[in-house]
Structure 1
Amino acid sequence: MQEHDHEKEHRRGRPRSEAAERAILDAVVTLLEDGVPLGTLSIERIARTAGVGKATIYRRWQGKEELFVDVLREIEPPEPELPGTSALDDLTVILESLRRRGLAQRSSVLLHNVFAEMKSRPKLWGEYHRMVIEPRRMATLAAIRRGVATGELRDDLGVDLMSDMIVGPMLVRTLHRPEAPLDDDLAERMIDAVLQGLTPRK
């Protein structure tokens, strides 16, 4: 009977635990959306905003950086599902997701705040690279390899170089040229330009 009561207590406790975790993550996002710099966020202020005690936060995360890693997972949109109809279709979807991320970063105080400060925090930047950038790069390389295998793409260039040639222009537009337009058809036009090259058509 005691074991049964313990199991019921565990089942009752778990939703409360998940609710507290949700409240903590939501509190960080709310504060960042309000323009509070990442570097000035304290565990005390997060706990106060979430309506929990500091101990509740420290039971789940060792410190702010571990908590911020989970916040990054919260705010990062999921990777798009690739259609798989062709390598070029998959690459276009990947570029389109980068274009949309660029638009989101331009219009969101939260994303601008997080990305601006994250780059000065090696642990956070490393986690973002592992969690977001590297999987995206692997998906791009896999799509290029499929394109080489099916004859859609040439087989005499390294896949790394082809990946940089395809993804690089979108990263320049979204990250390095914040004033540059991100038109709806940009991904398709970039893919076409890479495939056709820059020499004049005859």
Structure 2
Amino acid sequence: MKTDTPTAGTEQDCAADSGPACAATRRGRPRSEAAEQAIFTAVEDLMAGGTTMAELTIEGIATAAGVGKATIYRRWPNKEALLVDVVGRLEVPMPEPTGGGARADLIEMIDYMRRRGLAKRTRWVLKAALGQMQSLPELHNAYRDRVVKPRREAGLALIRRAVDEGVLRSDLELDLLGDLLMGPILYRSILWDDSDLEDPDLARKMVDSLLDGLAPH
């Protein structure tokens, strides 16, 4: 894997820089926020244009973002750390509990995944990133630890509460219950390109159909 190293003197002063980060700063946004947004957008644009994760370089990202390489290295130690944040940013936070009980929260969790799948550009970039991570072990492990595990644990905590409330059977493993509940919407939102996610009632239909078979006898 190609690794970029910081180069002294690459940081540009906004007085002479016409890149999007500095332009945004001159409009009043804090420099750090504007530069960060420009970097994230540059990576997403490059990937949406067909650049693979392996082909991405700090130099190429900096050029696309209109910033110096030092701007990137002040925030991330290497390309892998930056890519984890980019992909993690595409994964919007899971919803807070509704207060309406486990069934309502399960529906909200599935609907959150449905809504995420409706963002076609984000969906495409995320799908491309996940498909390429297997060839980048460091990035794959970092993404699993920072994004996948916390969200899976949050989902399992919700399923555990559903078992405690008597909504789900208690004789099945939590991991299996999680796969049965979340697998169908993951399939539709990530793996099945032509799936119809427009139905706002899809999450309720999925959850109630599964509860018919997974509810206690």
Q: TM-score, normalised by structure 1?
A: 0.75
CA contact (8 A) 2:58 2:69 kept: yes
How much is the aligned-residue C-alpha RMSD, in angstroms?
2.7
Residue 189, structure 1, aligned to residue 166, structure 2 = no
Q: Report the CA distance shift for 1:80/1:95 in structure 2 as closer, same or farther (over 3 A).
A: same
The Cα offsets for residues 80-130 of structure 1, whole Å up to 9 and x where unpaired, read as 222031111111111112222333357754334333323432222222222
CA contact (8 A) 1:68 1:124 kept: yes
- Higher mean C-alpha deviation, range 62-71 or range 169-178: 169-178
1:168 aligned to 160, 183, 203, which one? 183
Q: Report the CA distance shift for 1:196/1:34 in structure 2 as closer, same or farther (over 3 A).
A: same
Per the alignment, residue 150 of structure 1 pairs with 165
The Cα offsets for residues 145-193 of structure 1, whole Å up to 9 and x where unpaired, read as 2222222223232322222221122223333433333333222112111
The Cα offsets for residues 19-60 of structure 1, whole Å up to 9 and x where unpaired, read as 444433333233334443332222222222223222332333
Number of aligned residues: 184
* Alpha-carbon distance between aligned partners in 1 of 2:117 and 2:35, rounded to the nearest angstrom: 32
Q: Report the CA distance shift for 1:20/1:168 in structure 2 as closer, same or farther (over 3 A).
A: closer
* Alpha-carbon distance between aligned partners in 2 of 1:67 and 1:88, rounded to the nearest angstrom: 37
Which secondary structure does the structure 2 equivalent of 1:197 belong to? helix
Which consecutive unaligned segments of at least 5 residues does structure 1 have?
1-14
- Higher mean C-alpha deviation, range 29-38 or range 162-171: 29-38
Per the alignment, residue 129 of structure 1 pairs with 144
User: How do residues 51-66 of structure 1 correspond to structure 2 at under 5 angstroms?
Assistant: 51-66=66-81
CA contact (8 A) 2:35 2:67 kept: yes
Q: Percent identity?
A: 49
Per the alignment, residue 79 of structure 1 pairs with 94
Which consecutive unaligned segments of at least 5 residues does structure 2 have?
1-29
Larger Rg: 1
Structure 1 or 2: more helix by fraction: 1
CA contact (8 A) 1:105 1:112 kept: no
* Alpha-carbon distance between aligned partners in 1 of 2:100 and 2:44, rounded to the nearest angstrom: 37
* Alpha-carbon distance between aligned partners in 2 of 1:82 and 1:26, rounded to the nearest angstrom: 31
Per the alignment, residue 56 of structure 2 pairs with 41
